[in-house]
Amino acid sequence: MLEENLNLKQHVYFLENENEEMKEKLEELMKNKEITTFENGKYNDTVHEVCAVLLVANVGVKNVEHIVKTVLNKLGGVKIDRLSKKTFAEIMLVDAKALAQIQSVDAMINSDACTLHTDGTKRKGREYGGLQVGTSSGQYSLGILELSQGTAESFCNMIKTIFTNLGELIDKENQNKKAAEIIATIKNMMTDRHVVNTSLKTY
């Protein structure tokens, strides 16, 4: 009981110190009325984190800068010395995609059996195909590509392209070998088109 009380007191003391530090930072922020975002030739980690959170929330890359500036200015009266543009958000989106694909490959390699899922959709007259995989640790998206047409051949080419890209991402010098290793983890297929399954037999 005494040990538990001591631990609680230590935790309270820690939280009180954290609270004081946050108050000091907030007071300093309100005094300056300006936030530094660019240090040593690059945007700091906070900018990266904010951009990532907004992109995950489906905020368009062209709107990230405007939203951050508006919220800080209107709610806190704070100005930003410099903020990332659309290109920075686009690069972050590409990085996030690569990290997600690496995570997917890791899950596939460490799974006893993987199930490949394909699906297609049409938007504004354009065909798109998506590739997902079910593993022992969960469901992952491997990629989405625009298709020349909604045929089995197009779907097959999409699958080949995505796996080739995954192989290159993991090991650029041996991308074909790595792609083959990733494909070898797949034991089942689930598509909404039987003809797609048939066309993959030769792959």
Measured CA to CA, the distance from residue 87 to residue 57 in angstroms comes to 18
The reply to whether 11 falls in a domain is no
Same domain? For 145 and 180 the reply is yes
Pairing of strands 186-191, 114-123: parallel
The residue range of the domain holding 66 is: 34-84
Q: What is the mean pLDDT of the chain?
A: 82
C-alpha distance across the termini of the chain, in Å: 66
Q: Which is more confidently placed, 23 or 188?
A: 188
Q: Which is more confidently placed, 25 or 97?
A: 97
Same domain? For 76 and 133 the reply is no
Q: Where residue 157 falls among pLDDT bands split at 50, 70, 90?
A: confident
Q: Where residue 197 falls among pLDDT bands split at 50, 70, 90?
A: low
Please tell me the predicted confidence (pLDDT) of residue 192. 60
Instruction: State both tokens at 181.
Output: 């290793």
H-assigned helices in 57-174: 64-76, 86-109, 152-170
Same domain? For 177 and 116 the reply is yes
Total structural domains within the chain: 2
pLDDT over threshold 60, residue 145:
yes
Angle value at C-alpha 41, between 37 and 46, nearest 5 degrees? 30
Q: Percent of the chain scored above 90 by pLDDT?
A: 20
Same domain? For 43 and 70 the reply is yes
Measured CA to CA, the distance from residue 143 to residue 138 in angstroms comes to 16
Measured CA to CA, the distance from residue 197 to residue 188 in angstroms comes to 10
The reply to whether 79 falls in a domain is yes
Same domain? For 143 and 50 the reply is no
pLDDT digits (tens, 9 = 90+) for 57-108: 888 888 888 888 888 878 777 777 677 777 888 888 888 888 889 999 999 9
Please state, in angstroms and as integers, the Cα–Cα distance from residue 133 to each residue in 4, 107, 154, 171, 192, following that order. Answer: 46, 10, 19, 20, 14
The reply to whether 3 falls in a domain is no
Same domain? For 143 and 189 the reply is yes
Same domain? For 186 and 115 the reply is yes
Kindly report whether the global pTM for this prediction surpasses the value 0.95: no
Same domain? For 72 and 157 the reply is no
For residue 15, count other CB atoms closer than 10 A to its CB.
10
